[in-house]
Amino acid sequence: MKTAGWRSALIYGCVFALCQPLAACGSAEAPPASTNDGKAAKAVPAIPADAPLVIAFGDSLYAGYQLGPKEGLAPQLQAALAADGVVARVQNAGVSGDTSAAGRQRLTYVLDNAKVKPTLIVLGLGGNDMLRGIGPDQTRANLDAMLAELQRRDIPVLLTGMMAAPNLGSDYADKFNAIFPDLAAKYDVSFYPFILDNVVTNKALMLGDNLHPNAKGVKVVADALAPLVEQALPDAE
């Protein structure tokens, strides 16, 4: 990760430490109303039925926590791809409050019920595990199982990483932070080290809870992920 990325991760970790009394990152009980603090992504042209399917599978950072229907990661990533002239359908499979265990439980259902085989899964879980103090070994095992299942199905993956809050101690942080690069290397998948890099350090890109990006922040994330997604799509160079 670049130095700027580590700085973003440290600041995000400090915010996590202050906000850890919250039940979870994007608890399922939280209201889903739009914040109206940023304009929605531009309208995207109609996507052909046979367009490649990308599934964004994660927690509240994927689900569009407190954002409008066009402001979350899936619609903004689809728009970012379209802006580059890349036609793909991006499906939102984010669930606010999901731990890695919950994601592991529902992964097969999402894959089995997809209308077509996904061209790519963008996978991002673990933040809620960290907030709840779940052992890194459990998080690693759950993500490992998901990546193994996706490998078995021959579905490429873009893994997005998370960083531990410093108040959990260096031992926990060392074990947790190593999960994502280790698994990306083990399964030889595309890897984006910190999902909120270049976002969390800018209050103008974050919601009032200082944990989740607003619509403008999500656009930064989507624009950063788009080139990695494009590399996995058919006819990519």
Catalytic residue among 60, 98, 100, 129: 60
Q: Give the DSSP H/E element, type plus range, for residue 102.
A: helix 100-112
Q: For 133, phi and psi rounded to 5 degrees? A: 70, 25
Quick one: DSSP state of residue 202? -
Q: Is 170 a catalytic residue?
A: no
What does the alpha-carbon distance between residue 47 and residue 77 come to, in Å, rounded to a whole number?
13
Q: Are strands 190-192 and 53-58 parallel, antiparallel or unpaired?
A: unpaired
* Closest listed residue to residue 1, CA positions, set 205, 165, 196, 233: 196
Quick one: DSSP state of residue 200? T
Q: Is 209 a catalytic residue?
A: yes
**Which residue is listed with tokens 């006819």?**
235
Report the residue count for the chain.
237
What does the alpha-carbon distance between residue 183 and residue 63 come to, in Å, rounded to a whole number?
23
What does the alpha-carbon distance between residue 153 and residue 15 come to, in Å, rounded to a whole number?
38
Collect all residues with Cβ–Cβ distance below 8 Å to 118 and sequence separation of at least 6: 53, 54, 55, 91, 111, 155
Catalytic residue among 37, 144, 209, 223: 209
Q: Please name the amino acid found at residue 225.
A: L
Catalytic residue among 59, 100, 129, 212: 212
Q: Is 84 a catalytic residue?
A: no
Please identify every residue annotated as catalytic: 60, 209, 212
